[in-house]
Amino acid sequence: MSGDFANRGAEQARLTNRAAVRALLGACALVLAVGCGPQQQGITSMPTGSGCEAHLALGAPGAAHQVLCRQGFAVGYNYRTKVADWVAYYLTDTSVGINSGRTENFRADEEIPAPYRANLEDYRRSGFDRGHLAPRASVDFSHEAMEESFLLSNIAPQRPGFNREGWADLEQYVRACTTRVGEMYVVTGTLYDAQRSVIGNGVEVPDYFYKVLLAPRQGRAVAFLIPHRDFSKRDILKFVVSVDAIEAQTGIDFFAGLNDADEVRIEAQPAPPCRLPG
Protein backbone atom coordinates (compact mmCIF):
# COMPACT_ATOMS: atom_id res chain seq x y z
CA MET A 1 0.00 0.00 0.00
CA SER A 2 2.91 2.43 0.51
CA GLY A 3 3.63 4.57 -2.58
CA ASP A 4 6.93 5.46 -4.23
CA PHE A 5 5.56 8.34 -6.22
CA ALA A 6 8.92 9.56 -7.51
CA ASN A 7 9.48 6.36 -9.47
CA ARG A 8 6.10 6.31 -11.18
CA GLY A 9 5.61 7.05 -14.88
CA ALA A 10 5.28 10.33 -16.74
CA GLU A 11 1.61 11.21 -16.30
CA GLN A 12 -1.58 10.40 -14.43
CA ALA A 13 -2.86 6.86 -14.52
CA ARG A 14 -5.55 6.49 -17.15
CA LEU A 15 -8.30 4.05 -17.77
CA THR A 16 -7.83 2.22 -21.05
CA ASN A 17 -11.48 1.69 -21.89
CA ARG A 18 -15.00 2.12 -20.63
CA ALA A 19 -15.42 -1.61 -20.11
CA ALA A 20 -12.85 -1.64 -17.31
CA VAL A 21 -14.74 0.91 -15.26
CA ARG A 22 -18.13 -0.55 -16.05
CA ALA A 23 -16.85 -3.87 -14.73
CA LEU A 24 -15.57 -2.14 -11.60
CA LEU A 25 -18.86 -0.35 -10.99
CA GLY A 26 -20.77 -3.56 -11.53
CA ALA A 27 -18.60 -5.42 -9.05
CA CYS A 28 -18.48 -2.61 -6.52
CA ALA A 29 -21.98 -1.16 -6.65
CA LEU A 30 -22.97 -2.49 -3.25
CA VAL A 31 -21.83 -0.72 -0.11
CA LEU A 32 -19.83 -3.77 0.97
CA ALA A 33 -18.20 -4.32 -2.42
CA VAL A 34 -14.46 -4.87 -2.77
CA GLY A 35 -12.40 -2.97 -5.34
CA CYS A 36 -11.05 -4.67 -8.44
CA GLY A 37 -9.22 -3.76 -11.61
CA PRO A 38 -5.69 -3.55 -13.01
CA GLN A 39 -2.94 -1.48 -11.44
CA GLN A 40 -2.18 1.62 -13.52
CA GLN A 41 0.93 3.73 -14.00
CA GLY A 42 1.48 6.84 -11.87
CA ILE A 43 3.18 10.18 -12.55
CA THR A 44 6.38 12.08 -11.92
CA SER A 45 7.41 14.65 -9.33
CA MET A 46 6.56 15.13 -5.67
CA PRO A 47 4.89 18.31 -4.36
CA THR A 48 7.07 21.35 -3.79
CA GLY A 49 6.52 24.63 -2.00
CA SER A 50 4.58 25.33 1.17
CA GLY A 51 1.00 25.80 2.24
CA CYS A 52 -0.24 22.29 1.48
CA GLU A 53 0.44 20.82 4.92
CA ALA A 54 -3.13 20.55 6.20
CA HIS A 55 -4.51 19.19 2.94
CA LEU A 56 -1.68 16.69 2.45
CA ALA A 57 -1.17 15.77 6.10
CA LEU A 58 -1.85 12.08 5.34
CA GLY A 59 0.28 12.09 2.22
CA ALA A 60 0.06 13.52 -1.28
CA PRO A 61 -2.44 11.59 -3.43
CA GLY A 62 0.21 11.36 -6.14
CA ALA A 63 2.89 13.36 -7.85
CA ALA A 64 2.08 15.81 -10.64
CA HIS A 65 3.63 18.00 -13.26
CA GLN A 66 2.92 20.91 -10.90
CA VAL A 67 1.51 21.04 -7.39
CA LEU A 68 -0.27 24.22 -6.37
CA CYS A 69 -0.89 25.07 -2.72
CA ARG A 70 -3.95 27.16 -1.92
CA GLN A 71 -5.59 28.17 1.35
CA GLY A 72 -8.46 25.77 0.88
CA PHE A 73 -6.96 22.95 -1.18
CA ALA A 74 -3.92 21.48 -2.94
CA VAL A 75 -3.88 20.79 -6.69
CA GLY A 76 -1.95 18.15 -8.61
CA TYR A 77 -2.02 19.61 -12.13
CA ASN A 78 -1.45 17.77 -15.40
CA TYR A 79 0.21 19.74 -18.21
CA ARG A 80 -1.03 17.31 -20.87
CA THR A 81 -4.73 17.45 -20.02
CA LYS A 82 -4.74 21.06 -18.75
CA VAL A 83 -6.90 19.73 -15.90
CA ALA A 84 -5.96 18.67 -12.37
CA ASP A 85 -5.27 14.97 -11.87
CA TRP A 86 -6.37 15.44 -8.26
CA VAL A 87 -7.40 18.10 -5.78
CA ALA A 88 -7.06 17.40 -2.05
CA TYR A 89 -8.73 19.37 0.71
CA TYR A 90 -9.11 19.08 4.47
CA LEU A 91 -12.42 20.16 5.99
CA THR A 92 -13.56 20.71 9.57
CA ASP A 93 -16.96 21.34 11.04
CA THR A 94 -15.81 24.91 11.71
CA SER A 95 -14.45 25.62 8.23
CA VAL A 96 -17.52 24.34 6.37
CA GLY A 97 -19.72 26.48 8.61
CA ILE A 98 -18.12 29.71 7.38
CA ASN A 99 -19.55 31.39 4.29
CA SER A 100 -17.54 34.23 2.80
CA GLY A 101 -20.03 34.83 0.04
CA ARG A 102 -19.58 34.20 -3.67
CA THR A 103 -17.69 36.36 -6.11
CA GLU A 104 -17.77 34.44 -9.39
CA ASN A 105 -14.36 35.23 -10.81
CA PHE A 106 -13.29 32.33 -12.99
CA ARG A 107 -9.81 33.01 -14.32
CA ALA A 108 -6.67 31.35 -15.62
CA ASP A 109 -4.09 30.28 -13.06
CA GLU A 110 -1.02 32.30 -13.93
CA GLU A 111 1.23 30.12 -11.78
CA ILE A 112 0.95 27.49 -14.51
CA PRO A 113 3.22 28.04 -17.53
CA ALA A 114 1.24 29.57 -20.38
CA PRO A 115 1.50 26.61 -22.83
CA TYR A 116 -0.11 24.27 -20.26
CA ARG A 117 -2.67 26.65 -18.83
CA ALA A 118 -6.44 26.43 -19.33
CA ASN A 119 -8.06 29.74 -20.27
CA LEU A 120 -11.59 31.10 -20.19
CA GLU A 121 -11.73 30.96 -23.99
CA ASP A 122 -11.36 27.17 -23.83
CA TYR A 123 -14.74 26.88 -22.09
CA ARG A 124 -16.61 29.54 -24.06
CA ARG A 125 -19.46 28.01 -26.12
CA SER A 126 -18.13 24.53 -25.35
CA GLY A 127 -21.40 23.26 -23.87
CA PHE A 128 -19.60 22.32 -20.64
CA ASP A 129 -19.78 23.94 -17.23
CA ARG A 130 -16.67 25.09 -15.43
CA GLY A 131 -17.00 22.49 -12.69
CA HIS A 132 -15.22 22.87 -9.36
CA LEU A 133 -13.07 20.02 -8.06
CA ALA A 134 -12.70 21.60 -4.61
CA PRO A 135 -16.18 23.17 -4.34
CA ARG A 136 -16.40 26.85 -3.52
CA ALA A 137 -19.02 26.23 -0.83
CA SER A 138 -16.70 23.81 0.99
CA VAL A 139 -13.59 26.01 1.06
CA ASP A 140 -14.94 29.56 1.37
CA PHE A 141 -13.80 30.05 4.96
CA SER A 142 -12.01 33.23 3.84
CA HIS A 143 -12.45 35.60 0.94
CA GLU A 144 -9.07 34.62 -0.49
CA ALA A 145 -9.86 30.91 -0.26
CA MET A 146 -13.19 31.50 -2.01
CA GLU A 147 -11.48 33.50 -4.77
CA GLU A 148 -8.84 30.81 -5.28
CA SER A 149 -11.53 28.18 -5.82
CA PHE A 150 -12.38 29.89 -9.14
CA LEU A 151 -8.88 29.46 -10.58
CA LEU A 152 -9.12 27.21 -13.64
CA SER A 153 -6.54 24.86 -12.12
CA ASN A 154 -9.38 23.83 -9.78
CA ILE A 155 -11.87 23.47 -12.63
CA ALA A 156 -12.74 20.69 -15.08
CA PRO A 157 -15.19 20.58 -17.99
CA GLN A 158 -18.42 19.07 -16.65
CA ARG A 159 -21.75 18.43 -18.29
CA PRO A 160 -24.45 20.72 -16.86
CA GLY A 161 -26.60 17.75 -15.83
CA PHE A 162 -23.62 16.36 -13.92
CA ASN A 163 -22.28 19.51 -12.31
CA ARG A 164 -25.58 21.07 -11.25
CA GLU A 165 -27.33 17.88 -10.14
CA GLY A 166 -25.75 14.76 -8.63
CA TRP A 167 -22.25 16.22 -8.29
CA ALA A 168 -23.61 19.21 -6.35
CA ASP A 169 -25.62 16.81 -4.16
CA LEU A 170 -22.50 14.77 -3.41
CA GLU A 171 -20.59 17.93 -2.48
CA GLN A 172 -23.42 18.91 -0.13
CA TYR A 173 -23.29 15.45 1.44
CA VAL A 174 -19.58 15.91 2.16
CA ARG A 175 -20.20 19.24 3.90
CA ALA A 176 -23.13 17.96 5.95
CA CYS A 177 -21.22 14.86 6.95
CA THR A 178 -18.17 16.92 7.97
CA THR A 179 -20.41 18.95 10.27
CA ARG A 180 -21.45 15.70 11.97
CA VAL A 181 -18.08 13.91 12.19
CA GLY A 182 -15.82 16.91 12.87
CA GLU A 183 -13.20 16.62 10.13
CA MET A 184 -12.78 15.09 6.68
CA TYR A 185 -9.99 14.50 4.19
CA VAL A 186 -11.25 14.65 0.61
CA VAL A 187 -9.56 13.91 -2.70
CA THR A 188 -11.36 14.59 -5.98
CA GLY A 189 -9.85 13.41 -9.24
CA THR A 190 -10.29 12.86 -12.96
CA LEU A 191 -9.95 9.78 -15.17
CA TYR A 192 -9.95 9.35 -18.93
CA ASP A 193 -10.67 6.74 -21.56
CA ALA A 194 -8.19 5.99 -24.31
CA GLN A 195 -10.38 7.94 -26.74
CA ARG A 196 -10.21 11.48 -25.38
CA SER A 197 -12.30 14.50 -26.22
CA VAL A 198 -11.11 18.08 -25.85
CA ILE A 199 -12.51 21.58 -25.72
CA GLY A 200 -10.79 24.80 -26.68
CA ASN A 201 -7.03 24.65 -26.99
CA GLY A 202 -6.46 21.12 -25.72
CA VAL A 203 -8.41 21.02 -22.43
CA GLU A 204 -9.37 17.37 -22.03
CA VAL A 205 -12.84 16.36 -20.90
CA PRO A 206 -12.72 13.71 -18.15
CA ASP A 207 -14.69 10.52 -18.74
CA TYR A 208 -14.96 9.79 -15.00
CA PHE A 209 -14.66 11.70 -11.76
CA TYR A 210 -13.87 10.19 -8.39
CA LYS A 211 -14.15 11.42 -4.85
CA VAL A 212 -12.42 9.76 -1.88
CA LEU A 213 -13.45 10.58 1.71
CA LEU A 214 -11.74 9.76 5.00
CA ALA A 215 -13.22 10.63 8.40
CA PRO A 216 -10.16 10.15 10.62
CA ARG A 217 -11.89 10.32 14.00
CA GLN A 218 -14.23 7.52 13.00
CA GLY A 219 -11.64 5.57 11.01
CA ARG A 220 -14.09 5.26 8.12
CA ALA A 221 -13.59 5.87 4.40
CA VAL A 222 -15.61 5.64 1.23
CA ALA A 223 -15.07 6.47 -2.43
CA PHE A 224 -17.22 7.24 -5.45
CA LEU A 225 -16.37 6.51 -9.08
CA ILE A 226 -18.80 8.37 -11.32
CA PRO A 227 -19.11 8.26 -15.12
CA HIS A 228 -19.25 11.72 -16.63
CA ARG A 229 -22.92 11.78 -17.55
CA ASP A 230 -26.07 13.29 -16.10
CA PHE A 231 -27.00 11.85 -12.70
CA SER A 232 -29.06 12.77 -9.67
CA LYS A 233 -28.96 12.32 -5.92
CA ARG A 234 -30.79 9.01 -6.13
CA ASP A 235 -27.98 7.61 -8.32
CA ILE A 236 -25.16 8.26 -5.85
CA LEU A 237 -25.41 4.84 -4.18
CA LYS A 238 -24.68 3.19 -7.54
CA PHE A 239 -21.22 4.72 -7.59
CA VAL A 240 -19.98 3.69 -4.13
CA VAL A 241 -16.67 1.80 -4.18
CA SER A 242 -13.80 1.16 -1.81
CA VAL A 243 -10.71 3.35 -1.65
CA ASP A 244 -8.73 0.31 -2.81
CA ALA A 245 -10.87 0.24 -5.97
CA ILE A 246 -9.84 3.80 -6.86
CA GLU A 247 -6.22 2.97 -6.06
CA ALA A 248 -6.39 0.02 -8.44
CA GLN A 249 -7.61 2.26 -11.25
CA THR A 250 -5.25 5.20 -10.65
CA GLY A 251 -2.09 3.73 -9.16
CA ILE A 252 -2.36 6.35 -6.41
CA ASP A 253 -1.76 5.39 -2.78
CA PHE A 254 -4.30 7.46 -0.88
CA PHE A 255 -3.67 8.37 2.77
CA ALA A 256 -0.21 6.78 2.79
CA GLY A 257 0.51 8.59 6.05
CA LEU A 258 -1.72 6.15 7.93
CA ASN A 259 -0.02 3.21 9.55
CA ASP A 260 -0.20 0.15 7.33
CA ALA A 261 -2.66 -1.80 9.47
CA ASP A 262 -5.14 1.09 9.61
CA GLU A 263 -4.74 1.82 5.92
CA VAL A 264 -5.45 -1.78 4.92
CA ARG A 265 -8.50 -1.97 7.17
CA ILE A 266 -9.98 1.40 6.24
CA GLU A 267 -9.46 1.19 2.50
CA ALA A 268 -10.54 -2.39 1.80
CA GLN A 269 -14.28 -1.86 2.22
CA PRO A 270 -16.45 1.21 1.66
CA ALA A 271 -17.62 2.50 5.04
CA PRO A 272 -19.48 5.80 4.65
CA PRO A 273 -19.01 7.98 7.75
CA CYS A 274 -22.59 9.25 7.39
CA ARG A 275 -25.75 7.88 5.82
CA LEU A 276 -25.54 8.30 2.06
CA PRO A 277 -28.13 10.22 0.05
CA GLY A 278 -30.26 8.43 -2.47
Catalytic positions, please?
A: 132
Distance of CA 173 to the CA centre of its chain: 15
Long-range contacts: 175-179, Cβ < 8 Å, 24+?
Answer: 175/91, 175/96, 175/137, 175/138, 176/274, 177/213, 177/215, 177/272, 177/273, 177/274, 178/91, 178/92, 178/93, 178/96, 179/93, 179/96, 179/97
CA-wise closest residue to 158 among 189, 130, 124, 193: 130
Region for 117 from its dihedrals, namely left if φ exceeds 0, alpha if ψ lies in -120 to 50, beta otherwise: beta
Distance of CA 93 to the CA centre of its chain: 20
Biggest alpha carbon distance in the chain?
49
Residues sharing a CB contact under 8 Å with residue 124, sequence separation 6 or more, in sequence order: 200
Length of the chain: 278
The angle subtended at Cα 66 by Cα 13 and Cα 21, nearest 5°, is 20
